[in-house]
Amino acid sequence: MRILAVGDVVGRPGRRAIARWLPGLVDEHQPDLVIVNGENLRAGRGIDAPGLTDLFDAGADVVTTGNHVWAHRSAEKLLEEFPRVLRPANLPEPCPGRGAVVVPTEAGVRVAVINLLGRVFMTPCDCPFRTADRLLERLGREADVVVVDFHAEATSEKKALALHLDGRVAAVFGTHTHVPTADAQVLPGGTGFLTDLGMTGPHDSVIGLDSEVALRRFLAARPVPQAVAEGGLGLHGAVFEIDEGSGRSTEVVRVARGGGGR
Ligand SMILES: [Fe+2]
Ligand SMILES: [Fe+2]
């Protein structure tokens, strides 16, 4: 089976990039499941119903999020309305929404998607390593294939989690940095891994933010209102080829469309 994962969709430009390229990628790669990170859907931070609907209409099966999931108060309600939208699983309980979901593919393969948040250079949360261990005890029985979106800043933490889970999950892919990494690989135990998928949105920017605003923030060292950039639309992601019998990956290939580099 094949899973297509798409990096953080940023604002309206990101939604336009999804509409422009996701259906074609689905035609080309015929994935059994499409996972899209939507944490920046709503003007760069958080989620909203129109944005989520756009992602699902374009072919997403599961939407993951990250540190910006609670940017708007409506998120709690949205997580109830959209059962296939995840928030990180390692947020302190009790917590609205869910951090993992099991989705059956058309071919009848049960795929568990887990969303985790890193702790290095991020807001405090529970241990992603131990949360994954706990979830796998249950999901190992409920699913044939398990994949993890690890929303984290530090490349070291991402690689370490992937090695911690190597052989126990089919894939670990990173999100959050908005910059794709060139390390697509299958780890020794059979876990497909990529440190970061990259970004889907305006690449004539500083990771999605209007370049002038971003520069003013750095130069002035004072808060400057956020503004999503417009130009250089591009989509970044990766395709994981997975043997559903063993639950392990055989190949990982990055995909990219439009601006933002290859
Ligand atoms: Fe992001
Ligand atoms: Fe993030």
* Helix H or strand E encompassing 254: strand 248-258
- According to the model, what pLDDT value does residue 223 have? 86
> Token pair 């529970």 is at which residue?
126
- 208: CA distance to ligand 1 center in Å? 9
| Three-state DSSP state, 219 | helix
Sign of CA dihedral 138, 111, 262, 167: positive
List, for residues 99-137, the tens digit of each pLDDT value. 999 999 999 999 999 999 999 999 999 999 999 999 999
Centre of ligand 2 from the C-alpha of residue 115, in Å: 12
Which residues does the annotation mark as catalytic?
68
Supply 181's token pair. Answer: 């990494």
Nearest to 17 by CA among 240, 169, 230, 254: 230
Q: How far is the CA of 134 from the centre of ligand 2 (A)?
A: 23
Cβ pair 46, 67 in contact under 8 A: no
Ligand located closest to 152 CA: 2
- 178 Cα: distance to centroid of ligand 1 (angstroms): 6
Could you say which ligand is closest to the alpha carbon of residue 87? Answer: 2
pLDDT at residue number 262: 84
pLDDT tens figures, 163-192: 999 999 999 999 999 999 999 999 999 999
Compute, in angstroms, the gap from residue 219 CA to the centroid of ligand 1: 23
CA geometry: angle at 35 spanning 32 and 41, to 5°? 150
Query: Which positions ≥6 away from 96 have C-beta within 8 Å?
Result: 75, 76, 79, 80, 87
Q: Give the chain's domains with CATH numbers.
A: 2-258 (3.60.21.10)
Residues contacting residue 226 through CB under 8 Å, at least 6 positions apart: 43, 44, 45, 209, 213
Mean pLDDT, to the nearest integer, of 149-153? 98
The whole model's pTM is what? 0.98
Tell me the percentage of the chain whose pLDDT exceeds 70.
100
Residue 227 has pLDDT above 90, yes or no: yes
Confidence check: pLDDT of 236 > 90: yes
Please tell me the number of the ligand nearest to residue 67's CA: 2
Q: Looking at the predicted structure, is the pLDDT value of residue 221 above 90?
A: no
How close are the terminal C-alpha atoms of the chain, in Å?
25
